[in-house]
Amino acid sequence: MGFFDRFRREAVDKSSAGVPAAGYLPTLGSLPSAAGVQISQGTAVSVSTVYAAVMQRAKDFARCKPSLRKIAEGRSGNPVTDHPLARILRRPNWVQTWFEFAVQMHVALVLRNNAYAVILRDAKGAPQYLIPVNPDAVMVMEAGDGSIFYNVNRVGLFQIAALRDLPVAIPEEDILHIRGLAFNIHVGVSTIGVARDSIGVAMGLEQQAARWIDNGARPSGVLQTDKKLTPDTAAKLKRQWEDFKSGIQNTGKTAILEDGIKWEPMALTSVDLQFIEQRKMAIEDVARWFSVPPYKLGVVDGYPRGASIDDLDQAYVNATIMPDCEMWEQKLDMVFGLFDDDLMVDFDERNLLRASEKTRINNQRLKVMSGLATPNECRREEGLPPMKGGDELMFPVNTAALGSDMSGTAADGAGRPDSGTLADPGNGSKDNNKDGAD
């Protein structure tokens, strides 16, 4: 029995609940920034703007429900459910839902430009599960013949148990690797690596603001007196005042001064105002790295003038979420050989573009009147039960062919009559259709 096998068995035999799993690896893959702080996955997400941008993008992608479909039918056909990948798109492994799996993978992709999941297969080679792996625990290796292997460092007892039947260097066909910008075709360039100075500035400004609050670094005023103070008296007064005012827990307390000492409040200086402006610029700078518009991060003045929320959301989905969906669709197609089976993965982004109720009702009305959808199809989109007779397409009468209200054929009696034949007056009388004239 190996060390890890013995360690797993001992851990299971114990009556404790288990061993805590590592949430992130703060010491691996870190890079120093010019601001003097180390940038890693753990430190980067401690910046509120980074966390908000990464989670916003990951959750929006996870909301795009995936389905397996026939290429020829697309969304107009029914989803394919008898393929092994169809089950994985509903439940990727025995621990996570698809939403949880998608968020974890996409956070890794946004932060590191690399997202890894090990493919577990059954005895026949069909895929069964996807086990996500932290990018900091993966090293991509190239063999002499051009083969690619992934050296996966098992982190935690769960990964040790889940990947126990796989070698340390896992072949390329058993890894789902979603990569972004890459210079060497194999590994994506870490976003937090190239953006480390921008993230470092935001982190430094946050830490500076926190230290100001803790220590009262920016004086809100000065103590003045007409008396001459000895060095000991001045030091004692300074110490007592700092103990009284420093720290957020002392905010709002009333000071009692004696011996002619006066408190002179100070207004915000240009340096203070510049610091506030720097923090706003840091938010915009970080948001650019992650392709998330500022209004999605709670920035009040992040709305462009003259643009509606629906227009902004449409632009965000088009520029950010749709490329993410396309990246996943093409990678899943390639890894699982879907094209050979005339199949495709479709991530439905329509949940992100759900308009207000008034707008949706007007759109549904136009679809029914234009013959694009039946009433029951529109009711289904609104979560309403079908109605009797609602499965028939309706067409407006003003779109029928010329010469008829509905049939599309020539009107009764239309056209040139035969030689010597009177035109049908349209009353159905055969007496008026006799040859010749009396």
Tell me what pLDDT residue 16 has: 33
Beta bridge partners of 109: none
Show the CA angle centred on residue 347, arms to residues 346 and 349, nearest 5°: 130
CA gap 255, 242 in Å, rounded: 12
CA gap 324, 308 in Å, rounded: 24
Sign of CA dihedral 289, 293, 297, 302: positive
Which H helix or E strand runs over 42? helix 41-44
Q: What is the DSSP code (8-state) at residue 230?
A: P
Tell me what pLDDT residue 438 has: 46
Tell me what pLDDT residue 18 has: 40
Inter-residue contact 177 to 268 (CB < 8 Å) = no
CA gap 329, 153 in Å, rounded: 27
Tell me what pLDDT residue 215 has: 56
Tell me what pLDDT residue 184 has: 86
pTM, entire model: 0.71
Which H helix or E strand runs over 110? helix 98-112
326: left (phi over 0), alpha (psi -120 to 50) or beta: alpha
Q: What is the DSSP code (8-state) at residue 279?
A: H
Inter-residue contact 342 to 303 (CB < 8 Å) = no
Tell me what pLDDT residue 226 has: 63
Amino acid of residue 244: F
Tell me what pLDDT residue 80 has: 94
pLDDT means per 10 residues in the chain (438 residues)? 43 38 47 82 89 95 95 89 94 96 96 95 94 92 89 92 94 95 89 90 79 57 66 72 57 54 57 67 89 86 75 91 96 94 93 78 85 87 85 75 53 61 56 49
Tell me what pLDDT residue 13 has: 40
First to last CA, the chain: 116
